[in-house]
Amino acid sequence: MAPKKKKTPKAAPSKIHGVINGAGEVVEQPIVSTIRENFMPYAMSVILSRAIPEIDGFKPSHRKLLYTMYNMGLLKGSRTKSANIVGATMKLNPHGDAAIYDTMVRLSRGYEALLHPYVDSKGNFGKFYSRDMAWAASRYTEAKLAPICNELFRDIDKDTVDFVDNYDNTMKEPTLLPTVFPSVLVNSNTGIAVGMASNICSFNLKEICETTAAIIRDPAHDVKSTLPAPDFTGGCQIIYDEKVIDQVYETGRGSIRLRAKYQYDKSANCIDVLSIPATTTCEVIIEKIIDLVKQGKVKEISDVRDETGIDGLKITIDLKRGANPDALMAKLFKLTTLEDSYACNFNVLIGGVPMVLGVKALLEEWIAFRMECVKRRTYFDRQKKADRLHLLEGLAKILLDIDKAIKIIRETDEEVEVVPNLMIGFGIDKIQAEYVAEIKLRHLNREYILKRTQDIEQLKKDIQELDDILKSKARIKTIIVRELKEIAEKYGQPRRSMIIYEDTAQYTEEAEAVPDYPCTFFFTKEGYFKKITPQSLRMSGAHKLKDGDEITQEIEFSNNCDLLFFSDKAQVYKAKASDFADTKTSVLGDYVAAKLGMDEGENAVYMVATKDYKGMLLFAFENGKAAKVPLEAYATKTNRKKLTGAYSDKSPLIGMLWTAEDKEVLFTASSGRMLLVHTGALALKTTRSTQGVAVMKLKKGHRLFCIDAYKEGGFAKPQRYRTRSLPALGALPSNEDKTDKQLSIL
């Protein structure tokens, strides 16, 4: 056998003077021009041709689907398989059958996402309020256009909107639909483009039509008087906040709070949730409730399950005996998406330009669009009548001498000469002559011609009427108002979402019965905490502490209070005294950092006990500054367990004090100098993270060492350590004050 030839390894591509071997020429291009030439066209395409709805309320994918169904005769005919619709739509929207079918599902009656669905569906189309309830494949379901689509396509064949070629120039499709009502606000619409998004909530059809008509009559109309709030298909409650509604109506942006509706079944001791916010799903709510029960945050629930069926959405929550349903729901509203926010962003393409508009501005744009549609429709009708009149006027001239017309046709030798000869014989134009020449022989009688020509006067009146409409904006607006009234009467429905107000939406959550009794709190230097009752304290001996540890704070208070633990990382952790078990002096106590879940390496350095958050905190820093902050700055309406920015971290904290009122405080520097300062001389700061004001002047290489509350009699001559102005250097201790009795610390 011949020896095998060894393969020679290929040389790696090398770049020589802008050329890579085997790859071609390398062209350097600035990143700015790359983005401008490549990314920007893509971004504009997504914004203009995919994600943002236009003034008719539809994205291109919606419009292509509905127009295909209209062309298929599904406005009046029977339903057809969804797969047929999807296949036909691909002639206009070649983005895959899955995307088209998903679009149709979201427009369908079965999916229940729209107040007024555009697709009359049959079969399993899923539900918008369920994440896991998948819809059936397109070969199993059927669909047609809903009756309200008559108002989307009304007069579309009368040149009311422009038509353009489809992607392969084989068909025409409308750029907009001539909607007779403001569909852009009637049904919700969401889209995410590149660099911008759109999220339009739905409004009640009847209220929108009344509001639009009112704006046409009076441009200064108050929108809120006829359009109180949005309306959502799920029927959830809307917590009315006038400021938010005003913001949405004026700017097109704002966050509307939605709340689920529920009822309590006393016989079964369970809560039935019958509607949920449009921004969440049943599965998300149930999973969160189960998680809360496992964590022990909700103890009143014995079981939760999804009982959604033919009758609609239903989440059942079984309660334990003695549980208060209203108090439980108040807790669930806070902790789950049973109460959620709908973020409005009314971003709409107006003339190819994305614009965020308020409700009134959006309706005004729709009115302008609809006026153009009505004007184009009127002009189309006028031209049709004018063409008909022109033909009949030619026919009327033949009425004068029918025999002459027959003679001209009979005596003409060639067919092509018939029309010219009729034009010469009766003084009519080519169009009129063509019409006369096409009349059947049986119709060349006086009766037929008289019947046709008697419409001439009526046509003239109609044309005059249409001309008057074209010249008058007021008459066009009157037509729009009349059509809106008809739509409201024909398709209007009662509101689904109930409006509740802030004062009625607040549930008074019953606090758990916490026994209140006197106790003493002990806090150590190493961060250990003990809660001991007076009886136990009297019977106990010395405190058990870790080696080198000592008690830094001893506070007599009660079991029903808040505890604030300040850490060395400028954070404060809040807890209830009742969260800690009663203990004895013979145990180490609870390690606060572990008990409250502090960050790694974080330690508790100071404790405050309070019920009413009265008094103030004084923070002292190494750089000689001090900050006085009211304790109420740490009060929160919600049960937050951790607050960041508890104090300034610009300079290390050397100590802090809580005091009920202003008093004298002793500042001591590492140089040994002392300064007595009355806290009334320090301004109260409302910002927790304030750096404070300079209190003590420090010599180079020295720092503020400690801060203590001063008790009268602590110094022989306290005036020595006081000052009239701040900052001050302080004074070294006198011989009398160098004794062990020099300080008495509270």
- pTM here? 0.67
Q: Are 396 and 447 members of one domain?
A: yes
Total of domains in the chain: 4
Per-residue pLDDT of 128-138, as tens digits, reads 999 888 899 99
Q: Which own/partner pairs from 639-642 qualify as long-range (CB within 8 Å, at least 24 positions apart)?
A: 640/574, 641/573, 641/574, 641/575, 641/596, 642/571, 642/572, 642/573, 642/574
pLDDT category of residue 253 using cuts at 50, 70 and 90: very high
Distance of CA 688 to the CA centre of its chain: 31
Domain check: are 537 and 625 in the same one? yes
For residue 427, is it within any domain?
yes
Which pLDDT value is given to residue 603?
93
Domain boundary among 133, 154, 178: 178
pLDDT(617) > 50:
yes
Q: Are residues 472 and 386 in the same domain?
A: yes
DSSP, collapsed to helix, strand or coil, labels residue 735 as: coil
CA–CA separation, 53 and 55 (whole Å): 7
Q: What is the CATH number of the domain that holds 628?
A: 2.120.10.90
- Specify whether 559 is located in the same domain as 429: no
Is the CB of residue 274 less than 8 Å from the CB of residue 536?
A: no
Instruction: Choose between 639 and 500: higher pLDDT.
Output: 500
**Domain of 151: which CATH number?**
3.90.199.10
Burial 385-397 (b: 16+ CB within 10 A, else e): beebbbbbebbbb
For residue 184, pLDDT beyond 50: yes
Answer yes or no: do 332 and 370 share one domain.
Answer: no
Of the listed 70, 118, 140, 613, which one is catalytic? 140
Question: According to the model, what pLDDT value does residue 406 have?
Answer: 85
Torsion over CA: 82, 88, 91, 92 (sign)? negative
- The pLDDT, as a whole number, for residue 513 is 59
Structure confidence at residue 746 (pLDDT): 37
* CATH number for 309: 3.30.1360.40
Q: How far apart are the C-alpha atoms of 614 and 660, rounded to whole Å?
A: 7
Q: Is residue 215 part of a domain?
A: no
At residue 6, does pLDDT exceed 60?
A: no
Q: How confident is the model at residue 7 (pLDDT cuts 50, 70, 90)?
A: low
| Contact by Cβ (8 Å): 301, 321 | no
Provide the pLDDT for residue 222.
Answer: 93
pLDDT in tens, 300-347: 999 999 999 888 899 999 999 888 998 999 999 999 999 999 999 999
What mean pLDDT do residues 699-716 have? Answer: 87
Q: Look at residue 372 and tell me whether its pLDDT is greater than 90.
A: yes
Domain extent at residue 653: 518-738
> Same structural domain for residues 674 and 604?
yes
* pLDDT for 13 beyond 80: no
pLDDT at 540 > cutoff 70: yes
Q: Domain check: are 409 and 524 in the same one?
A: no
Residue at 543 is within a domain = yes
**What's the rounded mean pLDDT across residues 558-582?**
91
pLDDT at position 338 is 95
H or E stretch at 618 = strand 616-621
If you average pLDDT over every residue of the chain, what do you get? 89
pLDDT band at residue 550, thresholds of 50, 70 and 90?
very high
Lowest mean pLDDT among 156-160, 278-282, 481-485, 638-642: 638-642
Of 178, 209, 235, the domain-final residue: 178
In this predicted structure, what is the pLDDT of residue 714?
Answer: 81
Residue 463: the pLDDT is 96
Summarize pLDDT for 662-699 with one digit per residue, the tens: 999 999 999 889 999 999 889 888 888 888 999 999 98
Q: Is the same domain home to 267 and 332?
A: yes
**Residue 204 belongs to some domain of the structure:** no
Listed in sequence order, the residues at least 6 apart from 279 whose beta carbon sits closer than 8 Å to its beta carbon are 258, 337, 340, 341, 342
Same domain, 719 and 614: yes
Q: Are residues 578 and 726 in the same domain?
A: yes
Query: What is the distance between the alpha carbons of residues 341 and 199, in angstroms, rounded to a whole number?
Result: 12
pLDDT tens-digit series, residues 571-606: 999 999 988 989 999 999 999 999 998 988 899 999
**In the chain, pLDDT over 70 holds for what percent of residues?**
93
pLDDT at 25 exceeding the cut of 80: no
Helix ranges (H only) for 122-167 are: none
Asked if residue 116 is part of any domain, the answer here is yes
Query: Do 622 and 540 have their domain in common?
Result: yes
For the residues 648-660, what does the mean pLDDT come to? Answer: 92
| Residue 52 in domain | no
Q: Which of 178, 205, 224 is the last residue of a domain?
A: 178
Residue 70 appears among annotated catalytic residues: no
The answer to whether residue 577 sits within a structural domain is: yes
| Residue 524 sits in the same domain as residue 486 | no
Residue 156 lies in a domain: yes
Tell me if 332 sits within 8 A of 289, measured CB to CB: yes
No. of helices (H) and no. of strands (E), the chain: 21, 35
Residue-wise pLDDT for 397-432, tens only, equals 887 788 888 889 888 888 889 999 999 999 999 999
pLDDT of residue 309: 87
pLDDT for 28: 80
pLDDT number for residue 113? 94
